[in-house]
Chains A and B, each alone.
Chain A
Amino acid sequence: MQDLTQLLLNGLSTGAVYALFALGYTLVFSVLGVINFAHGAVFTLGAYFTYFLIGGAAGANGLLAGLQLPFALPFWLALPLAGLGAAAVALLIERTAFAPLRQRNADPLLALITSLGAGVVLVNLIQLLVGAESYAIPTGALAGLPAAVRIGGAQVRSVQLLLLLVAAVLLTLLTLWIDGTRSGKGLRAVSEDPTTARLLGIPSDRMIQIAFGLSGFLAGIAGGLVGLSVSIAGPYFGIGYGLKGLGVLVLGGLGSVPGAVLGGLIIGLAEACVPADLSGYRDVVAYGFLFVVLLVRPQGLLGRVLPSKV
């Protein structure tokens, strides 16, 4: 029983991170039909923003050596602000890497490349400015909370529970927004059929920007939380999540918000189930799912079947 609980807790913790990450991917895909390869970089940026907002100082390498903000915010305030910063960057990426191609009616393949270029520039800019060393958010940020909690005989770190909680809250809010508000419904309309949506007076450009902004906000928050849980291992620490996020995206169904969450949790649980002596293969789980789903059911679990237009 203890083993099963531990497995469940482990899987849910990992899955929550993947789900948060994939939410951003799926939002952009739902309105543009392309994958934003710079998403991992925005995630990383969120972690760095959080670090500086809580008063962290830049290391001795990089152009901004020793930089430290003149104030130090508590973690619960720094996190959403970092999310906003990440959202701003995501909007910038939309303007530079996606919008010009859309205006020229260019091949969607090219957007894949430009977003990748944007990601590479961002990540290396971070390295240039603050160096490649590890930054850790002081564990005291969660002042007062015990380091780990026992649930049913199994151990889980408090920060992982926090991640789970935040993911759940954000998901609920997002779903409410998409189903309940006008702009949310506009987003759904654009994702189903941009032309008709435009004919109905929905500003598709604005919707795309909203989607990017939201995805940036989610990525930033996810980055900050993951940075708290494990340290920020360097500017490249978001790349691995970026690749696995693709697996989550495809499993859940491209463009589906509940699908992203379901996909994240499933892959998280599957990774937790990998036996200890095969632990080197844990990374393969996400890619294995990706591959199998693409061949057997490309639209994923909750995605729509897209008819190929003649």
Chain B
Amino acid sequence: MVPPRPPRPVQPQRLALAALALLAAGGVVSSCSRQRGDQLRLGAGIALTGNAGLLGQDARTGLDLAQGHYADRAPGLELQLEDTGSDEAGATVAFRRLINAKPVAILGPSLSQQGFAVMPMADRAGIPVIGVSTTAEGIPQIGPFVARVASPVTVVAPLSLAKAVQLHPGIQRVAVFFAQDDAFCTSETQIFQRAIRAKGLELVAVQRTSVSDTDFHIPITNVLRSRPQLVVISALVSDGGNLVRQLRELGYSGPIVAGNGLNTPNIYPVCQRHCDGLMITQAYNPKLDNASNRTLLAGFRRGRAADAVPPQVTAQAFTAYQVVHEALATLKGSLPQGTTLTSLPLPELRQRLLKTLLAGTYQTPLGQLRFTPEGDVLQRDFSVARVQMNPDGRSGRFVQLP
């Protein structure tokens, strides 16, 4: 390597000065955001960018709606939202910021894969952390401060499988696809496979994929060789949507059951008219008639179509906020006259919030909710929906199956 000519001395110093100025400015700005007001702070770590970005955006909608609804109800809550990105590293950074901001509780993260990485951090710091869409097995068991409002995959997954078998009697041969590099998908597929065997069906193929895959013609042609009559998919939106589309294009016409990763209207642009017929369990039924669901629907439909249906994770995020708010209100009511929530030392406030939260019963958009002592949610109402695409292939809806 020939040493190049040395650069002119003036420019690099200016560059260094500019860099230092930027660093200083950035530091001032970021430290300003850490002032603590006299309101209680609720942290939320949601995936707003990356593969899971759309899931996070939907959750954010729910949080915004809840914040708007509870804004004029005591106790006052200040929502601090941080973007976790779609990987563990981003979640770690976001959760560190949230923990430093001294919240009374934290909602999130979006993915179970991130949950296993960052929920222990919040748990160690003694902050109640409530999963909004983390449904993998083992999440509430991470620690005493970890809970979730999203029903575990052990409960949800077998329902769609059961419905598919009920609607198509005579199915014997089942093939399974799952994304092996996601904690939720690997967890969900175990449940599906267990349920398949429990029903006495024949598991003819188990094909691993990756969440970053988009071209599945090789795994699909491999699997179709064993002539499955039912296909079960545990994947996320981008990969799952492509998988469904390519399965249909390569000639598979049997029923397809999909896991919670594809449970969102975001699959429409990916598999388009091929999304039609997909069966997925729903934890949220928009037709449920209670006060909080009416609030959610009213807020969601402002500025949208009159019959617009919120995605499941929007309802789950709203529910999480509601549960925290109601628990705080209950806690406030139990305090002696004259003491406010903010006067309690923070660690004690968090402990008592956790106890109150887990002990309560809530009427939420998801129906009636209670919690196990471990922090897992007990939800009463579920349904299975089938995707029905419109003739233009661009929009569709989830139709509840009876």
Q: Is B218 part of the contact surface with A, judged by Cβ < 8 Å?
A: yes
Q: Which of B19-27, B206-214, B287-295 contacts A (4 or more CB under 8 A)?
A: B206-214
A135-161 interface code vs B (CB 8 A; 1 in, 0 out): 110111000000110000011110010
CB of B77 closer than 8 Å to a CB of A: no
Contacts of B242 in A (CB 8 A): 230-231, 233
**Beta-carbon contact of A148 and B212 below 8 Å:** no
Give A160 to B246 CA distance when docked, in angstroms. 11
Smallest beta-carbon distance B332→chain A, Å: 37
Binds A, one of B45-53, B153-161, B338-346, B351-359: B45-53
Give chain A residues whose Cβ lies under 8 Å from the Cβ of B212.
Answer: 233, 240
B246 pairs with A233, CB closer than 8 A = no
Distance of A4 from chain B, by nearest CB (Å) = 12
Contact residues in B for A94 (Cβ distance below 8 Å): none
B54 contacts partner chain A, Cβ-Cβ < 8 Å: yes
Residue from the list A6, A134, A280 in contact with B208, Cβ < 8 A: A280
Contact B393 A135 (CB under 8 A): no
Contacts of B245 in A (CB 8 A): 139
CA distance A105 to B49 in the complex (A): 40
Q: Which of A106-143 contact B (CB under 8 A)?
A: 106-107, 109, 127, 131-136, 138-140
Contact, CB under 8 Å: A147 / B241: no
Docked CA distance A154–B222 (Å): 11
Is B251 touching A148 in the complex (CB atoms < 8 A)?
yes
Q: Is the interface of B mostly helix, strand, loop or mixed?
A: helix
Chain A 72-116 interface residues, beta-carbon cutoff 8 Å to B: 104-107, 109
| Known contacts A147-B249, A154-B221: A134-B238 contact under CB 8 Å | yes
Q: Which of B51, B218, B241 counts the most A-chain CB atoms under 10 A from its CB? A: B218
Out of B215, B224, B273, which one reaches A139, CB within 8 Å?
Answer: B273
Does B215 contact A138, Cβ atoms closer than 8 Å?
A: no
- The interface centre, meaning the residue of B51, B219, B241, B249 with most chain A CB atoms within 10 A of its CB, is B249
- In the assembled complex, A276 has its CB within 8 A of some CB on chain B: yes
B interface size (C-beta, 8 A): 46
A154 to B251, CA, bound (A): 11
Are B217 and A160 closer than 8 Å at their CB atoms? yes
Shortest distance between the CB of A64 and any CB in chain B (Å): 16
Question: Complex formed: what's the CA distance from A3 to B214 in Å?
Answer: 23
Q: Is B347 located at the chain interface by the 8 A CB criterion?
A: no
B198 contacts which chain A residues (CB < 8 A)? Answer: none
Q: Which residue from B57, B210, B238 sits with its C-beta under 8 Å from A61? A: B57
One of B51, B210, B241 near A231 (C-beta < 8 A): B241
Residues of A within 8 A of B32 (CB): none
* Binary per-residue interface labels of chain B (191-217) against chain A in the complex, 1 for a CB within 8 Å, 0 otherwise: 000000000000001011110101101
| The one of A13, A61, A155 that contacts B251, using a Cβ cutoff of 8 Å | A155
Given A14-B215, A133-B53, A139-B393 contact (CB < 8 Å): yes
In chain A, what residue has the closest Cβ to B5? A104
Interface residues as binary, A147-187 with B (CB distance below 8 Å gives 1, 0 otherwise): 11000001111001000000000000000000000000000
Cβ-defined partner of B221 (8 Å) among A6, A60, A105, A107: A6
Of chain A, the residue at the smallest CB distance from B86 is A132
Return the chain B residue nearest A110 by Cβ.
B4
Q: Are B393 and A140 in contact (CB under 8 A)?
A: yes
Cβ B214 vs Cβ A233 within 8 A:
yes
The yes or no answer to A196 lying at the interface (CB within 8 A) is: no
A234 touches B238 (CB 8 A): yes
The residues of B that contact A13 with a CB separation of less than 8 Å are: 217
CB neighbours (8 Å) of B222 from chain A are: 276, 279
A33 to chain B, nearest CB (A): 14
With a CB–CB cut-off of 8 A, which chain A residues contact B215?
Answer: 14, 229-230
Name which of A107, A139, A156, A271 has the most chain B CB atoms within 10 A of its CB. Answer: A139
Q: Is B330 an interface residue (CB 8 A)?
A: no
Alpha-carbon distance between A33 and B135 when the two chains are bound, in angstroms:
51
- For the residues of A in contact with B, the DSSP-based class is mixed
Closest B residue to A276 using CB positions: B222
Q: Find out whether the CB atom of B50 lies under 8 angstroms from the CB atom of A132.
A: yes
* Residue B250 interfacial (CB < 8 Å): yes
**Chain A neighbourhood of B223, CB < 8 A:** 276
Closest Cβ of chain A to B53, distance in Å, is 5
For residue A272, CB closer than 8 A to chain B, the reply is yes
A170 to chain B, nearest CB (A): 20
Contact with B along A240-274 (1 / 0, CB 8 A): 10000000000000000000000000000001101
B53 & A132 in contact (Cβ 8 Å cutoff): yes
Indicate whether B29 reaches chain A with its CB closer than 8 angstroms: no
Q: Is B67 an interface residue (CB 8 A)?
A: no
**CB of A125, distance to nearest CB on chain B (Å):** 14
In the complex, A208 Cα to B270 Cα: how many Å? 38
B217 touches A157 (CB 8 A): yes
Residue of B nearest to A60 (CB): B57
B388 contact set on A, CB distance < 8 A: none
Interface presence of B173 (CB below 8 A) = no
Complex CA distance for A127 and B54, rounded to whole angstroms? 13
B370 contacts partner chain A, Cβ-Cβ < 8 Å: no
B246 touches A157 (CB 8 A): yes
Smallest CB–CB gap between A268 and chain B, Å?
Answer: 10
Question: With the chains together, A123 CA to B4 CA distance in Å?
Answer: 30
Q: Is the CB of B273 within 8 A of A133?
A: no
Are A10 and B393 touching (Cβ within 8 A)? no
Given A10-B218, A279-B219; A231-B269 close (CB under 8 Å): yes
Asked if A217 is at the interface of the complex by the 8 Å CB criterion, the answer is: no
| Residue pair A133, B266 in contact (C-beta under 8 Å) | yes
Which chain A residues lie closer than 8 Å to B50 at the CB level? 132, 234
Which of A106, A157, A230 has the most chain B CB atoms inside 10 A of its CB?
A: A230
A25 within 8 Å of B (CB atoms): no
Q: Which residues of B contact A157 (CB under 8 A)?
A: 217, 246, 249-250
Q: A104-B5, A135-B269 are in contact. Are A233 and B238 (CB under 8 A)?
A: yes
Give chain B nearest CB distance to A283 CB in angstroms. 8
- Besides A240-B212, A282-B218, 17 other A-B contacts (C-beta < 8 A): A3-B225, A61-B53, A107-B4, A109-B1, A131-B53, A132-B49, A132-B50, A132-B53, A133-B54, A134-B270, A139-B245, A139-B272, A139-B274, A140-B393, A148-B251, A279-B209, A280-B180
Q: Identify 8 residue pairs between A and B in the complex whose beta-carbon atoms are under 8 Å apart, listed by A's number.
A: A134-B270, A138-B393, A230-B214, A234-B51, A237-B214, A276-B207, A279-B209, A279-B219
8 closest A-B pairs by beta carbon, nearest first, are A230-B214, A147-B249, A276-B222, A233-B238, A136-B269, A134-B238, A231-B270, A155-B250
